[in-house]
Chains A and B, each alone.
Chain A
């Protein structure tokens, strides 16, 4: 599997740490249910999923990767900073 880093280009999977599903963070004052949903519950799709990958052995960028969980195909990637996941702290 090769991940397309928006900064460095096409790179080997070994260069990356994978965090898991890319989710918008609830506000700190959000309800227990919202936090439970965010921390624990997952759509877990068989198909395209958006995930956070970290280019640990490269440029240190956090990347939102759209990837197929069925074929492992990388559909698209962009910098996580442009993915509106930052939350409303």
Chain B
């Protein structure tokens, strides 16, 4: 089934009786070439790329809950490629390019909205850092524009430019950045993978990973044993526990990151805006709700909900920087479980066990990474060589200390990111 304007019109005139489910609900087969653990954005994008780019279609995605029920549904939907360090810079650049062609690629409306993202600065030091970052982004081949206070005010009048402690001096704009519809990304990749023969198996929890003589043989699941030539982890939030089934310990702590959405209001904010003050990012969804968040709660958690101090901090920052939003009621909040690595950057690599691959440690960058990650991870699984855009996402960098990508410059240690 292909979606088109014509099809929507035809179905609308004939009672919408012609729509079929977007994917099958297959029984697990006894054996696959590749088993992917985790039916979220990354796992589904990987399955799609294995089938599309590498012709590997004897693939199963095993999901313990429902497709897209994890972090791909628990984020603030921001897409951008404004990283500074080599490694991250080329990867997120690659991922943003994938985002830009995603709707045509998947024949699915992922509501990619390149509304622009602005990182606001409050003082001279931050301005210098933005200039440097902007130059790095331009060197990478992506777009960045430094806006002074007047230019920013013209673009985003709703901000508080005269906060006594954190006056807004300007911002760094990336016009190609923006937001996308979180569920649709998962669904689009799921549908594309299913159409190419991938089995998407929901309510199938992996309970063990079978390894013999240093080589992976398959997985134990709540729906029986499944043998596989290759097993690929894509279980962000739970990566440590899935890896532990194969006897691995990862450089990952799971932390909760909260996010919030307000009641729908008239359009007041056309961009994604992030603030260096107290850390805040806010955008307005197409429904009119303000979507915003700030820091981790900073303690290990699998609870998918946070505590009041970070709620207060986020609200205080939001009201300080965008006072007009003070009267908007908060409707919902949620917590996503982040795979936090010591340097704040991800891992796409061999695990050290033959046929077992790792895709984890996305920290708070997982959503924007989905298309690039699926592309790079599938390349690694299919060819056993890293994709050109993800050569630096090595597991061993933590042991050796070489190639750490500490984007924030706080030190490559747990609890500092």
Tell yes or no: B66 within 8 A of A by CB.
no
- Contact with B414, one of A36, A42, A71, A72 (Cβ below 8 angstroms): A42
Scan residues 1-55 of chain A and give those whose CB is less than 8 A from a CB of chain B.
Answer: 1, 13-14, 18-21, 32-33, 36-37, 39-44, 46, 49, 51
Chain A CB within 10 Å, residue with most, of B238, B302, B342:
B302
Contacts of B254 in A (CB 8 A): 44, 46, 69
Contacts of B146 in A (CB 8 A): none
Tell whether, in the assembled complex, residue A69 and residue B303 are in contact, meaning their CB atoms are under 8 Å apart.
Answer: yes
Tell yes or no: B409 within 8 A of A by CB.
no
Question: Please, which residue of chain B has its CB at the minimum distance from the CB of A17?
Answer: B298
Tell yes or no: B241 within 8 A of A by CB.
yes
Tell whether, in the assembled complex, residue A18 and residue B302 are in contact, meaning their CB atoms are under 8 Å apart.
Answer: no
Contacts of B249 in A (CB 8 A): 37, 41-43
Instruction: Please measure, in the bound complex, the distance between the C-alpha atom of A42 and the C-alpha atom of B248, giving whole angstroms.
Output: 10
Tell whether, in the assembled complex, residue A39 and residue B253 are in contact, meaning their CB atoms are under 8 Å apart.
Answer: no
Chain B count of residues within 8 A CB distance of the other chain = 24
Given contacts A1-B307, A39-B413, contact A51 B399 (CB under 8 A): no
Question: Please, which residue of chain A has its CB at the minimum distance from the CB of B241?
Answer: A46
Tell yes or no: B299 within 8 A of A by CB.
yes
Tell whether, in the assembled complex, residue B250 and residue A51 are in contact, meaning their CB atoms are under 8 Å apart.
Answer: no
In the assembled complex, the CB of A5 is this many whole angstroms from the nearest CB of chain B, namely 16
In the assembled complex, the CB of A29 is this many whole angstroms from the nearest CB of chain B, namely 18
Instruction: Please measure, in the bound complex, the distance between the C-alpha atom of A42 and the C-alpha atom of B251, giving whole angstroms.
Output: 6
Tell whether, in the assembled complex, residue A40 and residue B342 are in contact, meaning their CB atoms are under 8 Å apart.
Answer: yes
Tell whether, in the assembled complex, residue B302 and residue A46 are in contact, meaning their CB atoms are under 8 Å apart.
Answer: yes
- On A, residues with C-beta under 8 Å from B are 1, 13-14, 18-21, 32-33, 36-37, 39-44, 46, 49, 51, 67, 69-72
- On B, residues with C-beta under 8 Å from A are 238, 240-241, 244, 249-254, 298-303, 307, 309, 342, 398-399, 413-415
List 3 tightest A-B contacts by C-beta distance, closest first: A44-B240, A40-B251, A40-B398
Q: List 29 A-B contacts (CB under 8 A).
A: A1-B299, A14-B309, A18-B299, A20-B300, A20-B415, A21-B414, A32-B399, A36-B398, A36-B399, A39-B398, A39-B413, A40-B398, A41-B250, A42-B249, A42-B252, A43-B244, A43-B249, A44-B300, A46-B254, A49-B300, A69-B254, A69-B300, A69-B301, A69-B303, A70-B302, A70-B303, A71-B303, A72-B303, A72-B307
